Each structure stands twice: as C-alpha cells, then as structure tokens.
Amino acid sequence: MSRVPPVTDQDHVQGGPGAVVTMIEYGDFECPHCGRAYPVLKRVKARLGERLRFVYRHFPLADVHPHAEHAAEASESAGARRGAGAFWAMHDQIFEHQDALDDASLASYAMQAGVDGNAVLSDLAEGRYRQRIRDSFKSGARAGVNGTPTLFIEGIRYDGSPDEASLVAVLERAAGVGP
C-alpha cells in the first residue's frame, strides 16, 4: 500500500499546529466529484475545528478537465502573492464557480481574493506555477491517487463513503475521540 508524502511547509494547510488528526485531499478544481465534496469537507472542517489539520494538494486531470491546471496555477499565484488566505479564498471561489474557470474568470476570483488579476494572468501565461502543480500531481500518483477527490487520513487512503457523518466518524476515531 502506497503512503502519501508527509505534510511540508510547501503544502496548503488549514488548522492549527495542535491538530490531532490530518486529512489530505488530492483534488481537481474542475472535477464535479470534487465540487460535490467541497461543501461536505467544509462542514467536516467546521465540526472538527482545531482538532483537524486539512491539507489540499493539486491533482488536475487535465485530459478531461481542460481548465483544471490553470485553475490550480491561479490558486498558487494568488497564494504566492498574498499568502495562505488568498490561496484559500481562491480555492473556495473556484469550487463555488466551477462552471466558469476560463482565465478571465480566474482573474476576477483573484481580485475578489485581494490579488491583482493581471498579475495572475501574467503568471498563467508564463507558466510560473506549472511545475509546482505537476510535482503535486506526481506525488499523488506515487501515493496511488488515480481519481479525484482522493482523501488520506493520517497518511492512509480513505476509500469509505464521502458523506459528512462517515468522514467525521473516521476522523474522530483517528483522533482518539470516537469508538
């Protein structure tokens, strides 16, 4: 069984350093399954609060989702320019507007996140974050990711039901809270 690479300072992380359980998502911003998982994961994060460290990693399936790679690059650009808050603001905007992921829309989401949209467009044109996205994809592939979303809880792939109650139960068990 493949294990997911450990969390590093290069990852996008929500949750405090005192979190007792870690969940990693490999996701694709254009994937409809990821879009359906997005509100579930938001509720799970809210329920577990500071007990959960949530990590998002890119796994754009560019062959079937033509805007996924640029969406990932745009989120990286925003994060690099304005910090973690801008990355997460872009993450949320993109998932909440999966039907509009052309470059002009991505620039608009960046502006809503407090980032210069033209700078993001420039980064996209230059491919400034393309390698970072590809490295994330490769790390997922080495860990056995073959579709999105793929979740890992405490480094082990989660193949259970993607509903809120099931995820919370597994996370609480992993945190030493549940039965």
What's the 3-state SS for 109-176?
Answer: HHHHCCCCHHHHHHHHHHCCCHHHHHHHHHHHHHCCCCCCCEEEECCEEECCCCCHHHHHHHHHHHCC
**Amino acid letter for position 124:** L
Residue type for position 161: S
pLDDT of the chain along its 179 residues, tens only?
567 999 999 999 999 778 999 999 999 999 999 999 999 999 999 999 999 999 999 999 999 999 999 999 999 999 999 988 999 999 999 999 999 999 999 999 999 999 999 999 999 999 999 999 999 999 999 999 999 999 999 999 999 988 999 999 999 999 887 65
Query: Which residues, 6 or more positions from 179, have their beta carbon under 8 angstroms from its beta carbon?
Result: 173
pLDDT of residue 102: 98
Round to whole Å and give the CA distance between 26 and 141: 10
CA trace torsion 165, 166, 171, 173 (10° rounding)? 100
Each domain of the chain, given as residue ranges in start order, spans 12-174
Q: What is the pLDDT of residue 2?
A: 63
User: CATH number for the 12-174 domain, one of 3.40.190.10, 3.30.565.10, 2.40.10.340, 3.40.30.10?
Assistant: 3.40.30.10
Q: Is the pTM of this model over 0.85?
A: yes
Output the pLDDT for position 179: 58
For 2, residues 6+ apart whose C-beta sits below 8 A from its C-beta are 142, 143, 144, 157
